Chain A
Amino acid sequence: MKTTNKELSPVQQLLEKKYNSGFLNRSEKIIPAVLFLMAAVSVLTTLGIVLTLIFETITFFGDVSIVEFFTAKEWYPFSGTDPVYGIWPLVLGTLKITIIASLFAIPIGLAVALYLSEYASARTRKIMKPILEVLAGVPTIVYGFFALTFITPVLRGIFPSLEMFNAISPGIVVGIMIIPTIVSLSEDALSSVPESVRQGALALGSTKWETASKVIFPAALSGILASIVLGVSRAIGETMIVSIAAGSTPSASLDLTTSLQTMTSYIVQVTTGDAGFGTTIYYSIYSVGFTLFIFTLLMNILAQFISKRFREEY
């Protein structure tokens, strides 16, 4: 070799040594394996969740008939003599809260998103962004406190027939909680419509509203729908606000002014109490958790489907 003829510098000597001893130390092979195991943890978490829910629910159905679970119109687990486990009142409770939250959050959320993306000055946007970030970062326990100690008393001042625990106050506050989700995802969708599309519509003499409603909004529709579905999914899974402000009475009535219980707040009620391990009540939280998991999973899959299926090509 040519290189052997001349004097080797210290660096070359050291490098030659390295070439002879081999480049790949063991860590180059071990590290990818270790990283793969780390990635496996999140898969195992999903698996853990699904298997936990399935097995404990199966145990539950050893005690309680599956027919009763789906058809009974009553959820009355704490009766010493004759407990009834019909999931419907808890599902209805969740639906009441979710619908009120959606009715509150969707119009406001979309209005804010449209204002920020189509009308607001850069300065307004700069002010609103952190406000929405803070709203998104407020823990739900704080929202629960706000619902119980502020919104409920205010509403009862207006409607004296409203009970201390009801569907309306926590429903509205869950709505407040999901507004940032809807705003930020919808605004992303709206502002990803290219500026040229906007200018094209404005150049034809459209007003800003006509541009927004007839061109931009339809173009961003899939992103907007996905944001709504994700917001609704969060409302379904919301726990603390309803545990604090909605009460703990499973109810099959459509009355919004009285105490109710959702799937999530039932789980909280049982786990704050002393339901011993191994009792039917203990296993019932898994059957409720499973039902809840299915609901939110379907919503998340729907959101992914919408944003994939209707992805706009610009």
Chain B
Amino acid sequence: MENTARVKSEEMVSRIDGRLAKNKVVKGIFLTATIFTSIILIVLLYRIISQGAPYLTWDFFQNFASRRPEQAGIKAAVIGTLWMMSVVIPTAAILGVGTAIYLEEYAKKNKLTRWIQMNISNLAGVPSVVFGLLGLTIFVRVFGFGNSILAAGFTMALLVLPVVIVAAQEAIRAVPKELKEASFGLGATKWQTIYRVVLPYAIPGIATGSILAFSRAIGETAPLIVVGIPTFVAFLPSGYLDSFTALPMQIYNWTSRPQVDFHNLAAAGIIILLAVLILMNSVAVWIRNRYQAR
């Protein structure tokens, strides 16, 4: 008996080297995958910056779209995106926070509430191109907004709404119940407690999540195409029912042309788009870090 036991443990010891070697190989493979992923991002950014940076001139910001690449600019697209976001942000923020307050503070924990919640998470998984079809039918045709800022803005607002709702719900859920008790204990009504205690505490969290959602709306292209937003626009909109173009539409237009010059313009447009997104993300991270200390 004793002998076999010793043989067994010796056998086990003799295998350790092999097992450790295997561990090392696997670790190496995993590390390679991780480095590879980072390299993809570096290559992507490097390609776009090296292609587009020379085109980032003052004229590029000042000019409208043009058939001649050397005269083409991004003015209409940048202004158009700003117009569109002035619809998306208030619409999605008000509906998103309102829904989150309803679900977290007012809704009873019953089947209807669970169904609404499930509906929201399913909505988050619907492809953006399908939201485009919704916008095309409801906003462009039924409401008669045409291919306007309003139609595109509402479509985008609905697209990012589930993300805003979920972020706001998490932020509201994180409000300590002691603070709510303190407010109720002083005779505050439910809405006073929500408005004066819950929301002020939750706003940094809501803002962080919402900014990320809005940055998605800035970069989305497919719904705009389906809603019928034109790519070649040589004027600025003057109202919400005007036609317009947006940054990703302009980039798409330049990308789908065969000439390399237009590709370089697309890269320049992408630099602007990414710069805006990185700026927004930094603001979100800044807010998160600033208020996390609480």
Contact = CB atoms under 8 A, between A and B. Distances in A.
Given A142-B48, A146-B47, A148-B255, A293 B101 contact: no
B220 interface: yes
A122 interface: no
Contact of A271 (B29, B218, B225): B225
B27 interface: yes
A289 B130 contact: yes
Interface in A134-156: 134-135, 137-142, 144-146, 148-150
B277 A111 contact: no
A4 interface: no
A33 B22 CA distance: 62
Nearest to A146: B44
A159 interface: no
Interface stretch (B53-61, B68-76, B158-166, B234-242): B158-166
Interface residues of A, number: 83
A192 B112 CA distance: 30
A116 B134 CA distance: 40
Interface string A48-71: 110011001000000000000000
Interface in B129-151: 129-134, 136-138, 141
Interface of B: 19-20, 22-23, 26-27, 29-34, 36-38, 40-41, 43-44, 47-48, 51, 94-95, 98-99, 101-103, 106-107, 116, 118-123, 125-134, 136-138, 141, 158, 161-162, 165, 187, 189-191, 212, 215-216, 218-222, 225-228, 231, 248, 251-252, 255-256, 263, 266-267, 270, 273-274, 277-278, 281
Given A119-B27, A179-B37, A267-B226, A139 B248 contact: yes
Contact of A296 (B119, B125, B252): B125
B138 A209 contact: no
Contacts of A41: 95, 99, 158, 161
Contact of B274 (A142, A148, A150, A208): A142
A297 B27 CA distance: 36
Nearest to A24: B189
Contacts of B127: 236-239, 264, 292-293, 296
Contact of A115 (B34, B103, B212, B227): B34
Contacts of B30: 111-112, 114-115, 119
